[in-house]
Amino acid sequence: MAPPPTDLSRLCLHTMTTRPWPLEEAVGRYARAGIGGVTVWRDAYAHCGPQAAGNLVRGHGLSVVSLCRGGFFAADSAEGRRRAVDENRRVVDEASELGAPLVVLVCGTAPGVPLEEARRQIAEGIAEVVPHAAAAGVRLAVEPLHPMYAADRSAVNTVGQARAICSEIGSPWLGIAVDVYHTWWDDRLADEIAACGRDGRLFAFHISDWLSPTTDLLEDRGIMGEGRIPIRQIRGWAEEAGFRGFLEVEIFSRRLWASDQAAFLAKITKAYMAHA
Amino acid sequence: MAPPPTDLSRLCLHTMTTRPWPLEEAVGRYARAGIGGVTVWRDAYAHCGPQAAGNLVRGHGLSVVSLCRGGFFAADSAEGRRRAVDENRRVVDEASELGAPLVVLVCGTAPGVPLEEARRQIAEGIAEVVPHAAAAGVRLAVEPLHPMYAADRSAVNTVGQARAICSEIGSPWLGIAVDVYHTWWDDRLADEIAACGRDGRLFAFHISDWLSPTTDLLEDRGIMGEGRIPIRQIRGWAEEAGFRGFLEVEIFSRRLWASDQAAFLAKITKAYMAHA
């Protein structure tokens, strides 16, 4: 079990977590709360562009931890897959402008494409984007998504699968984002995180909690401590594997987005100290 | 890929699939449709007892395929775990009275019990029930549930985990129920089904479909062909592994339960021929 955090310097928030706040307000609030980093979603800079967004974040003394998100490589036509690769190269360029060292990849899947074939297409798509990312000095992190998203959001559903893709491509610019929400159920998780560490591929660590009952497959995540995930234990595995990066809070929740966001932020920082 | 079914003789319906129908009506309708078997849920015979239910099913020329369900072995107290074992012995007795050769186990989990510990408790609970099942001539099938149920319904979430429990206990009376809804996303599924066959443990095969989007974690399954699961391909794996049993339709769906059940049954038999 990892020791509790002593401050908020390794706490990072995804802009999506406090979705109702525009980027300017979010960054100001995070900075005043003493949070160390921000992972910026593309929609958060739609109004100002990635470069201005990066300057804004750094201007408040915060680190840009990563850009969310690229991916969605699977498609039922070669043209669709080519467009996805082009789009991911653009995402890498945006990460450069934002000053983000990492792009998170939600790998996608496609109706009509068998799961096995989608997995193949994902590996091929990533392989095509990696040289562009390496040239830009931007790392890519495959984020395995919970098996309940295998039909629509990601055909990569375990850390083991993500690791196989990384091994196949074999670039130091490609690694893995482990999100406890997506992976906590996996009886091989401890071993897989250790293997990610040995491979030098543990690039990011996302936290939130699994509510019981969960009322929506997409937008009903909990704050750390509200649910069933042994977050501190899993963080311990990551740190034994050498991970020293930010602990990124990524919560999608209609319930919490509908609540007062300042109070929600206060709950997050408190829950971070108690459960992360 | 398995060849299409040529008739409905291997089609089995779970009474839960047509939940609005009382057992008497369900069995009559199934028989008239030419369906071969029924898996009886405990609630379906609450009014008449398991023995009368078994006679009713057989009286219509249908096979009793299994009893759903035992399980829920994990608990946060020794007393709770002992009660679960007692309850499962009662379920085995009911299966005997019903004339069901098999009890399906939904293994459970418990708030406050870490996942790893819950998995241990499940293996211990099953081990305590197996001798009673063997004495009664009733087989037990561990049904791995989708990882989205790890917080509340089952800490056994892959065929691999179920197989490990079976190997540990090592009784010919203990095997596995593979449900395509719970397992289709698993990149190791083909290998695991083959291994179940080699171990002589592939006891049951459940079908339905995964809808995209899925609007409810529990009660939004689809009819075969409505969703993303390659059912016939997975059935092929099961049959290559030696499985010759019933193909059991287990659909929980508020949408379909709210529809005309006779029309729903007609859709099921048609979808079975086309997609199972």
Which DSSP string do the residues of A85-141 spell out, in sequence order?
Answer: HHHHHHHHHHHHHHT-SEEEEE-B--TTS-HHHHHHHHHHHHHHHHHHHHHHT-EEE
The Cα A153–Cα A109 span in angstroms is 6
Residues B239 and B9: beta-carbon distance below 8 Å: no
Asked whether residue A261 is domain-assigned, the answer is yes
CB contact under 8 A, A115 and B146: no
Asked whether residue B112 is domain-assigned, the answer is yes
Residues B20 and B257: beta-carbon distance below 8 Å: yes
Task: Answer yes or no: is pLDDT of B258 > 90.
Answer: yes
pLDDT (mean) for B263-273: 98
Q: Give CA separation, B234 vs A110, A214, B105, B224, B245, in Å.
A: 19, 28, 21, 13, 14
Asked whether residue B69 is domain-assigned, the answer is yes
* Closest C-alpha to B32, from B266, B235, B272, B274: B266
| % of residues, chain B, pLDDT over 90 | 99
The Cα B103–Cα B128 span in angstroms is 15
Asked whether residue A23 is domain-assigned, the answer is yes
Chain A residues touching residue B154 (CB < 8 angstroms): none
pLDDT of B173:
98
| pLDDT tens across the length of chain A (276 residues) | 899 999 999 999 999 999 999 999 999 999 999 999 999 999 999 999 999 999 999 999 999 999 999 999 999 999 999 999 999 999 999 999 999 999 999 999 998 899 999 999 999 999 999 999 999 999 999 999 999 999 999 999 999 999 999 999 999 999 999 999 999 999 999 999 999 999 999 999 999 999 999 999 999 999 999 999 999 999 999 999 999 999 999 999 999 999 999 999 999 999 999 999
Asked whether residue A1 is domain-assigned, the answer is no
Chain B residues touching residue A214 (CB < 8 angstroms): 148, 151, 217
pLDDT of B56:
98
Chain B residues touching residue A117 (CB < 8 angstroms): none
CB contact under 8 A, B158 and A187: yes
* Closest C-alpha to B58, from B18, B80, B30, B17: B30
Asked whether residue A185 is domain-assigned, the answer is yes
At B152, which CATH number?
3.20.20.150
Asked whether residue A249 is domain-assigned, the answer is yes
3-state helix vs strand vs coil in chain A, percent to 5: 45, 15, 35
- Chain A touched by B114 (CB under 8 Å): yes
Residues A181 and A228: beta-carbon distance below 8 Å: no
The pLDDT-based confidence of B204 (bands split at 50, 70, 90) is very high
pLDDT of A4:
95
Rg (CA), chain B: 17
pLDDT of A1:
83
pLDDT of B1:
83
The pLDDT-based confidence of B160 (bands split at 50, 70, 90) is very high
Task: Answer yes or no: is pLDDT of B266 > 90.
Answer: yes
Compare CB distances from B152 to A119, A157, A213 and report the shortest one's residue.
A213
Q: Is the ipTM above a cut-off of 0.90?
A: yes
pLDDT tens-place string over residues B172-203? 999 999 999 999 999 999 999 999 999 999 99
pLDDT tens-place string over residues B226-244? 999 999 999 999 999 999 9
How many CB pairs (< 8 A) connect A and B? 79
| % of residues, chain B, pLDDT over 70 | 100
Residues B169 and B123: beta-carbon distance below 8 Å: yes
Residues A150 and B211: beta-carbon distance below 8 Å: no
pLDDT tens-place string over residues B106-119? 999 998 899 999 99
Rg (CA), chain A: 17
Question: How many domains in chain B?
Answer: 1
Suggest the residue from A115, A185, A216 to mutate for an interface test with chain B (most B CBs closer than 10 A): A185
Chain B residues touching residue A108 (CB < 8 angstroms): none
Domain that holds residue B161: 11-275
DSSP string, A70-99: EE----SSHHHHHHHHHHHHHHHHHHHHHT
Asked whether residue A3 is domain-assigned, the answer is no
pTM: 0.97
Compare CB distances from B214 to A186, A210, A217 and report the shortest one's residue.
A217
The Cα B189–Cα A123 span in angstroms is 20
Specify the pairing of strand B11-14 against strand B139-142: unpaired
